[in-house]
Chain A
């Protein structure tokens, strides 16, 4: 089963606001990935993180690999209507190279 706890489950924000979501685990991960999924589509990679403490940006998106290697967060600044979708975190543990675990997703709603 899933080993990642993702929160919040959903968010309703106003256009222009900043957003933050996170994933936590009781286990150590060596890779954290953040994806966005639009309705009826497959997830699309936003940011990949490989080192503890790493902070990476992709436009208005910023994600960090937690120092403890048990968590990661994703921030979206100055949200716009097209940010609407479901955001998933995914993590890979050190010992099993082929296994990726997924969070339950954060559904983001942006009011124009």
Chain B
């Protein structure tokens, strides 16, 4: 079945630095990937839809300059949290859909970001 790899699983950074999270579809091509943020004990909040070869579509209230998304290939999307602050600390999860397979979302294992 479809597999999505997300890296790193955990990252700790200093306030003001930038952090990049990678999301890869390992055995399928994904023209679209999705980035979510999850606060403790809450559901998944869609941040943006990443489109291969074009600009990402951001949800209302998500700062596109703060959360930079790049989808340069059919198997890789990256989320860069720029000038991170402690309030950016969260669990970030990506997902992708294999258009040649069943209409389901396959999720990465998530990335725990802690900003000191």
* Alpha-carbon distance between A17 and B94 when the two chains are bound, in angstroms: 33
* Alpha-carbon distance between A105 and B102 when the two chains are bound, in angstroms: 23
Please tell me which one of the listed residues B4, B43, B46, B104 contacts residue A104 in the complex, with CB atoms under 8 A apart.
B43
How many chain B residues touch A (CB < 8 A): the figure is: 23
Determine whether A73 belongs to the interface, using a CB cutoff of 8 Å to chain B.
Answer: no
Please tell me which one of the listed residues A33, A90, A104 contacts residue B42 in the complex, with CB atoms under 8 A apart.
A104
Residues of B within 8 A of A92 (CB): 103
Range of interface residues on A (Cβ < 8 Å): 20 to 34
Once the chains bind, are A48 and B106 in contact (CB under 8 Å)? no
- Interface residues in A13-31 by Cβ distance below 8 A to B read 31
Once the chains bind, are B104 and A102 in contact (CB under 8 Å)? no
Determine whether A11 belongs to the interface, using a CB cutoff of 8 Å to chain B.
Answer: no
Please tell me which one of the listed residues B32, B41, B42, B110 contacts residue A42 in the complex, with CB atoms under 8 A apart.
B110
* Alpha-carbon distance between A41 and B34 when the two chains are bound, in angstroms: 16
Contact with B along A75-112 (1 / 0, CB 8 A): 00000000000001010100000101011110100000
* Alpha-carbon distance between A37 and B46 when the two chains are bound, in angstroms: 16
Top 3 nearest A-B pairs (CB, nearest first) are A42-B107, A42-B110, A104-B43
B interface list, Cβ under 8 A from A: 4, 6, 32, 34, 41-44, 46, 49, 91, 93, 95, 102-110, 112
A interface list, Cβ under 8 A from B: 2, 31, 33, 35, 40-45, 48, 50, 88, 90, 92, 98, 100, 102-105, 107
